[in-house]
Structure 1
Amino acid sequence: MGIRGLTRYIRSHSEFFQDVSLCNCKLLIDGDNLYHNLYFSSGLDIAHGGDYARFADIVREFFAALRVCRVAPFVVFDGICDKDNKKLATLKQRTQERIIQAQSLSFGGSGSILPIVADEVFIQTIMSLRVPMAQAEVEADSELAALAKQWGCPVLTQDSDFFIFNIPGGVCAFSDLPWHTLSVKASSGQRYIATKLFFQCHLYCQFSLKTPRLLAILAVVLGNDYVDSMVMQPFMSAITQTVKRGPVARPLQIEILFRWLSRFNDERDALHAAMKYVDVSRCKVQEQKLLDIVQEYISPESTLDSFFSTGYFPLRKGYFVSAQAKGACPPCHDPRQPLNPGAKCSEIPEWIGEGLKAGLLPPFVCEAFKLRQIILSTQVECVHLQSSHLCSRNIRYAIYSLLLGGPATSLRPKSRHHRSSGKWCLVEIDRRGKGLLHTQVRPEDSALFAQDIPELHRLPEIQVDSRYHLLLTIMGCSAEDLADVPTDLQLPIAATRHWLIHAVAPKPRPLHLHALLLGFVYGKLTASISAGPVSQAEAPGTGRDLKICIVKALMNLAKSKVLARPQEVTSHVCNQWFSCLVMASHLNKILGYPLQDPPLERLYCGPLVHGLSRALSSPSVSPESLLASSSGTLALYLALQQATTKGPTASVAKVGSKKKKRKSKTRAARNDVKDELDAECGWVSALVLK
C-alpha cells in the first residue's frame, strides 16, 4: 500500500522524528521493501537481467551489520497481492508503468525494473543466514504493524502506510538507516547504527488530534492502493477552497486535512462528515467499505507471533520440515515426504499453507489457487517482440493443473472433441506490445503429459521418485539427460532444455547457449574460490589460483564487450530462459523439491552473459579456448553442453526449418536478421540428430 504525497510531507517535518541508537533490540523488516531498496540503492545491473552474486553479497553485509549491533531482524514478506481484487486496477496500472520503464531500459534509458529472481536470491540468502522470516497471507503491512505493537519494536520500511499505523516502537525508513557506517558507544564499546525514527505521537500532538485513530482517515481521503483519490476529490476541493482558491499543492492539502480532522472525536464522525460531499451513486463507494479500510489501519491483526515464537527456521528439503519437530513424522520417515496433508480438495491443503507461511512456496501458488488470476512479471525487453513468458507457457499450465485439477489428456489431442471440458478457469495477464493481454486458461489447455494428474492434497503421499519423474515429464527431459550434471545445476539444465525447445522468435543462437553455460561454470568457480583452498600446499598455477585466473579472464573479456544498451536479441532470449527457470523452480517447490534448489546467485550475471555473447560472435573466441587452461573446468562445461542438447525431440528437430517463399527485395531486407536467427537455430537439431 501507499498514500501519495504523505512521505514527502512527513519527511519535511523533522519534529516528527527522534534520533536513536539502533542496537540491542528486535527489528521487524518489510521484506519486499528491503530487497527493492537494497538492490536499487546499490547501483547493480538492471538492463542486462541482474547481477545476483553482488546482490547476495550486499544482503549478507546488511544483516552482518545488524548482527554486530545486536539487532535481531524478523523479515515478513507480502503474500498474495490482492485478496479480493480490490486493487486490481492499481496492479494493472503499475504493470503498465513497468512495461514502459522496461522499454526505456531496453534502449539504454532509465527505469526501475527489479530483475526477475532478485526476490528469490534475497530469500535464499537470508535463509542461509538463518534470519527468521515469514510470508503473510496477503500484504505484510497489517502483520508488521500488529507484531510491532505486540513486541514494542521499530519497523524498517519505506511504505507511507506505516505513518498511519500506531507503532509505539517507531518507524525507520531505509533511507534513514546508514548501515554501512557503524558508530561505537564510548562507555560500553557497543556498536550501533545512528538513525532516526518516526513516532506517530509527535504527528497527532502537532495538530491537536483528539485520537490517533483519526489519522486513518487520511488513507481513504488522500487515496491508497484500494481507494482512488478521485473518489474523495469533491470533499478535498471543498475544504481546501476555504483556505486558498485555485489549485492547492499536495503538502498544503495534507496540512488542511489534518486541521480539519482536529474537529472530530473519532474516525466514524469524520468519515461521515466527509462522505456528505461525495456522490455515492456515481462513485459506487459505500461509507461502510471505506470504514472497513479505516479499521484495518486502526486494528491490524497478525497470525505470525506464534510462528516466530517457535524458533522455526525453514529448510528447503521438503514441503515443510517443522512436522518432525512437532512429532508428526516418525524417525524412519523421509523428511522430504511430509505427512498429514490435512485438507479437503476444495480447500487449500495444510502443507501448502505451511509452505506459504514459511516462505518455501511463492505467492504465485496462492494467487493461482485462490484468486485464479496471475499477473506475469515484467522484464527488460523491446515491446515490439513477443512476450518472453510464452516460452514457459507449458510449465505454467502444468502448474495450474496440479493446483486446480485437470484432465488426463494426451500431449497432442487429436481433435477438439477429445478435449475435456474443464471445471476451472484462470486468467493470465501478460504483456502484448505496450499493453496488457488477458488470457483465459482452462484444464484442456494444460494437456502436457499422457498420465493422470495427481490431486493436490495427495502430493505429499507420493514417493520422491514419482514426483521426480513427474517434474522431468513436465519439463520434457529424462533422468538420463541429467545423469552427468552436478545436482545443484540439474534444475537449471532442465529449464535450459525446455527453453531451447519452446523458445519463440527471436530464438537462441549457439552463442547464447554457450554464454549461459559459461555463466554456470563461472558461478561454480566463484563458489569454489569463496570456499577457500582445498589444500594449503597447492602449487602456484593450479587449483584455486587457476580458477581465479579463469574467472578474471571471463569477467575481463565480458566487461570489454558489454554495452550499456542491452542487445535486443540477447535480452529477449535470456528473458525467455529466465521465465522457464522461474516456472521450473515454482514447479519444483510444489512437488516438494525432487531436485535440489539451485543457488540462483551463482547462475547468472547479466553483464557477464551479455558480454560473453558479444565476444563469442567472433570466430576466434570459443568456450573451449576460454577454458583450455583447466581440463576439469572444460570437462564441466562440455558435460553441461551435452546435457542441454542430447536426446531426440521432435519439437527441436523442427526448429530452424524454413518455408520456401518468394520475397520481394524490400521484405527480404526487412527480414534478414530474423532469417539468420532461424537458420542458426538448426544447430540444436544438428546436435540432437548426431
Structure 2
Amino acid sequence: MGVRGLVTFIEKHPRIYRDVRFRMSRLVIDGANLLHLLYFDSGVYLIKTGVYLIKTGVYLLNTGLDQNHGGEYAAFEELIERFITTLRNCGVSPFVVLDGGSDYTDKKLDTVTQRAVDRIEKAHRAAWDDSEQNILPQLAKLMFTQTLARLEVPMAQCYAEADQEIAALANEWRCPVLSNDSDFYIFDLPAGFLPTSHFQWKAVEQSGSQSYIPCKNYNTRSFCILINIEHELLPTFAALAGNDYVKLQKMERPIRWTQFCPASDGIPSRLEGLLCWLRDFHQPEKALEAALGLMGELGTKRKKEVLQSLYLGMEEYKLPSSTLMRFFVDGVAPPFPTFEGVKGLIPDWTRLPLTQARLTSDILDVLLLQRNDLSIPVDHGDMASINLTSRPLRQVMYGLLLGKRRQLVNERDRDGLQLKVIPVQPAVRGVARQLTLESLDQAESSQRLQVLLDALGVTEASLSRLPPQLRLPVAVTCYWLQRAQPRPDQRLLKALLLGLSNGDALRQRAASQIQNKCYKQKLDVSVVHAFNQWQGCLKDSVYLNQLLGRPLEEPQIARLYEGTLVHDLVHQMRTGRKLKHFLKSDRSSVRQYSAMMAVINQFHCQEASTSHNQKTVTPPRRQPLEDLTANLQQLFLLCEDEMEVSSTVSVQEDLHLEDLLSVKTRYRAKKRNNRSKNPEVARKEERRGDVVLW
C-alpha cells in the first residue's frame, strides 16, 4: 500500500523513534522490501575471498549492486547470506513473508498501472545513459527465494498483497516487523515496527557475550502522543492522506490540508495540516463526514462513492487473525479466499507450493483475472519488448492453467515507451491436451517432462549427457538461439556458456570482475537486449517447470548467470583478447563448456535437417528414444559423437585452451575421434566404462 509522504514526515520528527538493541526475538520481515533493500541500498565490499558488507576500516566500493547489465546474482546471494547470518548470530529468528498475486477486486489497478508506466520510462533512461534507476533484474526475486530456501529460512508467499498478513502475524506473535513500507506506521503492532532505514545490521555490536543490532523502534502510541491525536484516528489519517487505494488528490476539488498548518516560518506540510485538523475529532465517522464537507458540493452518488473509498482504505489497517501462523508452525497452507467468483478456479493442490514460493504467484493473476503483468528490465525503448521471445512458453503455461475455458490472457507489456495490453491465446497441443490443471500434480512424470521439452523444442536424449542442473538452462539457450531477435551471434553464445560452465567459481570470479571494474565500459544496449531475452526465456521456463512439478532440476540462479561477467566477456572477445585465463586450472568448466556446445550444435543440426525436409514451422512429434530402431540408435550415436568431438576442438580453438590439456586428455580426444568412426566399438567401450566427456 503506502501513505504518500509519511516516511518523510516521520523522519522530521525523530523523537517518535526509540533506540533499541535488537536481539533474541522473532522478526517478521517484509520480503519484497528486504529484496529491494539488499539489492539497491546495501554498501558492498569486495576482498579476495568474496563479497562482504560494511565494516569499519574496509574500503567502500559502491552503495549497491549493478542494475543495468542483467544482475549481479552471485554478489546478491552473498548479501542475503550475510544478512541471515547476522540475524542468527544475534539470536533473531527471521520469518519472511512475500507478496502474491493481485487483489481479486482489482482495487489497486490504477496504482499498479502507474508504477508500470514509470518503470518503462526508468528502464529506458537507464539503458540510454547507463544511470541507476532502481530497476530490479529479472531473476532477482527467484534467486532471493532460492537462497532463503537453501538457508532454511522460514518463508511464506501470500495469495495477494502481504502487508496485512505480515501485520497480523506480528500481532499474534507479539514481535516486530522489519520493513520500510509506510503502512506499518499505521498498523497497531504491540511490539512495534523496525524501519529498514534504521536497521544497522552491518554494524553489529556486543554487550557482554551477546551480539545485538542497533536500530530504531516505532510505536503508534508514541506517534499519537507526540502528535496529539486519538489513536483510533490513525487509519482515518491514512485514508484522508491518500494511499494506494484512496486518491483524494484526484478529486474535482481536492482538500488543501496546508491551510490548517499553524503559522510558522517553515514550508507548510500537507500531512502536518491534516494531523492538526484531526485533533478536533474523537471518532472516525465524524472526521469523515467533516472531510466530505471540505470537498465542496458533491452529488449524493459521488459522495457515497468517496465515502466508500475512504472506508475501504481504512479497512486495510484492521488486523485479522493470522492465516500464516499455522503454516509456519505446522506447515499447513492457508485456505484460498472465498470471494464470489473465485471458488473452483484454483486447484487445491496448488495451495502448498504457492505458499512455499515453489510456484509463481503469476498463476493466480492468470486464473482469477486472466491477466499477466510482465517484467520490464533495463532496455532501450526503440527495441521490441524482450517478452516477445518467451511468449510461446507463456502460452503453454496459459493453456495448462485455463484448459477448456478458452479465455484470452491480457499481457500488460511495453510497446515502445507505452504500456499496452496484448490479448494472448493460450496454447494447448501435443501431450498437454491429455492433462488437466485439477490433476496436473498426479500426471505421469514422463508426460509433464514432454510438455516442457516440446515447449522448448528439444529432446530428452539431447540433454542426457549434461549435468542435471544445466539441462534446463541449455534447453533454454537452444530455444533462445532459435527465437531471439536479432539472432544472437557466436560471441554472445560463447560468453553465456562460459558463465554457465563456471558453477560455484562464478562467485569468486564475479567478485574479481567487479573489484577490477572490468565491466565499466560503455553499456552496449544490443548486448543488454540479447541477454535480457535469454533471462526472460529462462524465467518463463522455470515457471513452466514449476507448474509441471519440476520434471527438470531447477537451476540455482546465483551459480548460473552473472550479468556483469558475461558482458565483460563479450567485450573482451570483441576487442580481440584471449579468454584462456578465464578457465585456467578449471578443467571441469572446460568439459561442461564442451558438453553444452555439443548439445547446441546437435540442436542446430537437427533443426537444419527439419527445415530442409519440411516447409512447415511446426516441428514433428519426436519419437521416444526407446522406440527407435537399432539403426536409428546407431545413427544418433554417430551424430552425437561427431558433434562432441567437433565441439571439443572448437573449444580449444575459440578459447585457446589447448595448453590446458594434459597428454592423457589429448589421447582421449583422439580416442573419441576414432570412436566416432566406429559406433559399435564405442558402445562396447561404454559398457566397459571407458567413455568420458572430454
TM-score by length of 2: 0.79
Counterpart residue identity of residue 240, structure 1:
T
511, 524, 535: which one aligns with 2:491: 511
Distance in 2, matches of 1:127 and 1:586, equals 17
- What is the root-mean-square deviation in Å for CA atoms of aligned residues? 3.0
- Partner deviation per Cα, 1:185-212 (whole Å, 9 max, x = no partner): 13xx1111111111110111123323x2
Q: Please give the alpha-carbon distance, in whole angstroms, between the structure 2 residues aligned to 1:486 and 1:558.
A: 31
**305 and 241 in structure 1: CA distance in 2 versus 1, 3 angstrom threshold:** same
Q: Quickly say closer, same or farther: Cα 1:167–1:6, change in 2 above 3 A.
A: same
Q: Whole-Å Cα distance in 1 between the matches of residues 182 and 381 of structure 2?
A: 32
The answer as to whether partners of 1:394 and 1:448 remain within 8 angstroms in 2 is no
Say yes or no: does 1:649 pair with 2:607.
Answer: yes
**Which position in structure 1 is the counterpart of 2:65?**
44
2:406 partner letter: K
Deviations along 1:221-256, whole A, 9 cap, x unmatched? 12111122414684632x53355799995x622122
Q: Could you tell me whether the CA contact under 8 Å between 2:527 and 2:567 is conserved in 1? A: yes
Residue number in structure 1 paired with 2:345: 347
Amino acid at match of 1:226: Y
1:263 to partner: Cα distance: 2.1
Is residue 401–residue 453 contact of structure 1 (8 Å, CA) maintained in 2? no
Give the deviation of 1:163 after TM superposition.
Answer: 0.5
1:397 counterpart SS class: helix
Unaligned runs of 5+ in 1: 313-319, 323-343, 407-421, 528-547, 655-685
The amino acid of 1:173's aligned partner reads P
- 2:363 is the alignment partner of 1:365: yes
Q: Is the Cα contact below 8 Å between 2:400 and 2:428 reproduced in 1?
A: no
Whether the 8 Å CA contact 2:10–2:16 is kept in 1: the answer is: yes
Find the partner of 2:414 among 431, 435, 440.
431
d(CA) in 1 for partners of 2:154, 2:135 = 27
Where does 1:511-660 land on structure 2 (aligned, <5 Å)? 511-526=491-506, 551=509, 562-618=519-575, 621=578, 627=583, 630-647=586-603, 648-649=606-607
2:140 pairs, out of 113, 118, 122, with 118
Given the superposition, is the C-alpha separation of residues 345 and 402 from structure 1 closer, same or farther in structure 2, using an over 3 Å criterion? farther
Paired position in structure 2 for 1:240: 258
Contact 1:449 1:474 in 2 (8 A): no
Shift in alpha-carbon separation, 1:557–1:85, aligned structure 2, 3 A? closer
Of residues 163-172 and 462-471 in structure 1, the stretch that sits farther from structure 2 once superposed is 462-471
Which residue of the partner structure matches residue 237 of structure 2? Answer: 218
Q: Which one is further off, 570-579 or 349-358?
A: 349-358
1:95 aligns with 2:75: no
Flag the 1:381–1:284 CA change in 2: closer, same or farther, 3 A.
farther
Select which of 458, 464, 476 maps to 1:495: 476
Q: CA deviation at 1:650?
A: 5.7
Q: 1:630 to 1:126 in 2, by over 3 A?
A: closer
Q: Which residue of 1 aligns with 2:398?
A: 400
Counterpart-to-counterpart distance in 2, 1:395 and 1:219: 42
- Are the counterparts in 2 of residues 213 and 298 from structure 1 also a CA contact under 8 Å? no
Q: 1:253 aligns with which of 249, 270, 291?
A: 270
Distance between the aligned counterparts of 1:35 and 1:54, measured in 2? 13
1:269 Cα deviation from its structure 2 partner: 2.0
How far apart are residue 556 of structure 1 and its match? 5.4
Note if contact 2:499-2:562 (Cα within 8 Å) is conserved in structure 1: yes
Aligned to 2:83: 62
| Local SS of the residue matching 1:236 | coil
Work out whether residues 431 and 451 of structure 2, in 8 Å CA contact, stay in contact via their aligned partners in 1.
no
Seen in structure 2, the aligned counterparts of structure 1 residues 253 and 132 have a Cα distance that, compared at 3 Å, is: same
Are the aligned partners of 1:557 and 1:615 in contact in 2 as well (CA < 8 Å)? no
2:432–2:451 CA contact under 8 A, matched in 1: no
Contact 1:45 1:51 survives alignment (8 Å): yes
Whether 1:273 and 2:253 are equivalent positions in the alignment is no
Q: 1:298 is paired with a residue of what secondary structure?
A: coil
Spell out, residue by residue over 1:157-178, the C-alpha distance to the aligned partner (whole angstroms, 9 max, x if none): 0000111110111111111011
1: CA distance between counterparts of 2:543 and 2:558? 17
| AA aligned opposite 1:485 | L
Cα 1:18–1:244 shift into 2, 3 Å: closer
Give the match for residue 382 of structure 2. 384
Gapped runs of 5+ residues in structure 2? 43-63, 335-341, 613-645, 648-694
Alpha carbons 2:411, 2:422 under 8 Å: kept? yes
Q: Share of identical aligned residues, percent?
A: 35
Alignment check: 8 A CA contact 1:25 1:153 kept: yes
Cα distance between partner residues in 2 of 1:593 and 1:15: 52
Check whether the contact 1:520–1:604 (CA below 8 A) recurs between aligned residues.
yes
In structure 1, how many angstroms separate the alpha carbons of the residues matched to 2:421 and 2:260? 46
The 1:110–1:627 alpha-carbon spacing in structure 2 relative to 1, beyond 3 Å, is closer
| Equivalent in the alignment of 2:185 | 163
Q: Counterpart of 1:230 in 2: which secondary structure?
A: helix
| Separation of aligned partners in 1, 2:77 and 2:432 | 40
CA displacement at 1:364 relative to structure 2: 0.9
In structure 2, do the counterparts of structure 1 residues 634 and 389 end up closer, same or farther at CA, with 3 Å as the change threshold? Answer: same
1:353 is paired with a residue whose SS is helix
Quote the residue 1:145 is aligned against.
Answer: 167
Q: Distance in 1 between matches of 2:248 and 2:264?
A: 18
Change in 2 beyond 3 A, CA 1:299/1:85: same
Please point out which of 303, 318, 321 is paired with 2:323. 303
C-alpha separation in 2, matches of 1:453 and 1:555: 50
Give the corresponding residue for 1:11.
Answer: 11
Deviation readout 1:47-96 (Å, 9 max, x if unpaired): 10110011001100001000010011111000113332212121121111
User: In the aligned structure 2, how far is the partner of 1:523 from the partner of 1:136?
Assistant: 32
Shift of 1:272: 2.2
2:386–2:532: 8 Å Cα contact kept in structure 1?
Answer: yes
CA distance in 1, matches of 2:154, 2:261: 50
| 2:594 aligned partner, one-letter code | L
How far apart, CA to CA, are the structure 2 residues paired with 1:203 and 1:631? 62
Matched residue count:
583
Name the aligned partner's letter for residue 501 of structure 2: V
Distance in structure 2 (CA, Å) of the matches to 1:178 and 1:564:
33
The CA distance in 2 between the partners of 1:289 and 1:435, in whole Å, is: 29
CA distance in 2 between partners of 1:600 and 1:611 (Å): 19
Q: Which amino acid aligns with 1:198?
A: Y
Q: CA deviation digits over 1:103-139, x for unaligned, max 9?
A: 1221212311011111111111111111111011211
- Mark the CA change 1:181 to 1:243 in structure 2 (over 3 Å): closer, same or farther: closer
Q: 1:371 to 1:557 in 2, by over 3 A?
A: closer
Which stretch has the larger CA shift, 516-525 or 176-185?
Answer: 516-525
- Stretch deviating more after TM superposition (40-49 or 280-289): 280-289
Once residues 468 and 581 of structure 2 are traced to their aligned partners in structure 1, the CA distance between those partners, rounded to angstroms, is: 26
CA drift of 1:563 comes to 3.3
Counterpart of 2:61 in structure 1 is: none
Does the 8 A contact of 1:375 with 1:429 survive in 2? yes
Letter matched to residue 119 of structure 2: R
Q: Which residue of 2 aligns with 1:334?
A: none
| Kept after mapping to 2: 8 A contact 1:472/1:478 | yes
